[in-house]
A and B are shown apart, each in its own frame.
Chain A
Amino acid sequence: MNAPVGHYQYDQIDRNFLQSRIEEFESQVQRRIDGTLTEDEFKPLRLMNGLYLQLHAYMLRIAIPYGILDSRQMRKLSDIAHRYDRDYGHFTTRQNIQFNWIRLEDTPAILRELADVDMHAIQTSGNCIRNVTSDEFAGAAADELVDPRVHAEILRQWSTLHPEFTFLPRKFKIAISGSPNDRVAARFHDIGILARPGVDGTVFRIFVGGGMGRTPIIGQEIFDAVPEDRLLATLEAIVRVYNAHGRRDNIYKARIKILVQAIGIEAYREAVEAELALMNPDHYRLTPETVAAIRARFAVPELVAPDNASEVLAQQRIADREFDLWVRSNTHEHRASGHIIAVVSMKPAGGIPGDATSVQMKRLADLADVHSFGELRITHLQNVVLGHVRQDRLHDLWLSLREVGLASANVGLIGDIVACPGLDYCALANSRSIPIAQKLGARFGNADLQAEIGALSINISGCINACGHHHAGNIGLLGVDKRGEEFFQITLGGRADQGAAIGSILGPALPEDDTVDAIARIVDCYLGKRTAGETFLDTLSRLGDVPFKDAAYEAV
Chain B
Amino acid sequence: MKRPTRLSAGEKLVLTANRLLDGQIVWRDAFGQWLPQIRHAETYDAESAELALENAKHNAQRDGVVGVYEVAVQDGSAIEPVSVRERIRAHGPTVHPQFATEA
Residues of A at the B interface (CB closer than 8 Å) are: 32-33, 35, 38-39, 53-58, 86, 101-105, 352, 423-425, 429, 431-432, 434-435, 438, 481, 484-486
Contact = CB atoms under 8 A, between A and B. Distances in A.
Chain B residues touching A, range: 20 to 34
Contacts of A424: 88, 93-96
Interface of B: 18, 20-25, 60-61, 66-67, 82-85, 88-89, 92-96, 99
Contacts of A33: 20-21
A53 B67 contact: yes
A431 B84 contact: yes
A432 B23 contact: no
28 contacts: A33-B21, A39-B60, A39-B66, A53-B23, A53-B66, A53-B67, A55-B85, A56-B24, A56-B89, A56-B93, A56-B99, A57-B22, A57-B24, A58-B22, A86-B99, A103-B22, A103-B23, A104-B23, A423-B84, A424-B94, A424-B95, A432-B84, A432-B94, A432-B95, A438-B95, A481-B84, A484-B82, A484-B83
Given A39-B66, A352-B95, A438-B95, A56 B21 contact: no
B84 A435 contact: no
A55 B82 CA distance: 16
A55 B22 contact: no
Contacts of A481: 84
Contacts of A431: 84
Interface-central residue, A32, A56, A102, A352, by most chain B CB under 10 Å: A56
B42 to A, nearest CB: 22
A104 B24 CA distance: 11
A228 to B, nearest CB: 45
Nearest to B62: A35
B7 to A, nearest CB: 14
B95 A435 contact: yes
B2 to A, nearest CB: 12
Contacts of B84: 423, 431-432, 481, 484-486
Contacts of A438: 95
B88 A102 contact: no
Given A39-B66, A485-B84, A434 B99 contact: no
A480 B81 CA distance: 19
Contacts of A86: 96, 99
Given A53-B18, A53-B66, A423 B23 contact: no
Contacts of A101: 99
Given A57-B22, A101-B99, 18 more contacts: A39-B66, A53-B67, A55-B25, A55-B89, A55-B93, A86-B96, A86-B99, A103-B23, A104-B21, A104-B23, A423-B85, A424-B88, A424-B94, A431-B84, A434-B95, A484-B82, A484-B83, A486-B84
A17 to B, nearest CB: 28
Contacts of A35: 61
A54 B22 CA distance: 11
Contacts of A484: 82-84
Contact of B67 (A39, A57, A103, A434): A39
B66 to A, nearest CB: 5
A547 to B, nearest CB: 33
Contacts of B61: 35, 38
A57 B85 contact: no
B21 A103 contact: yes
Contacts of A102: 23
A105 B21 contact: yes
Contacts of A57: 18, 22-24
A479 to B, nearest CB: 10
Contact of A435 (B22, B24, B67, B94): B94
Nearest to B95: A434
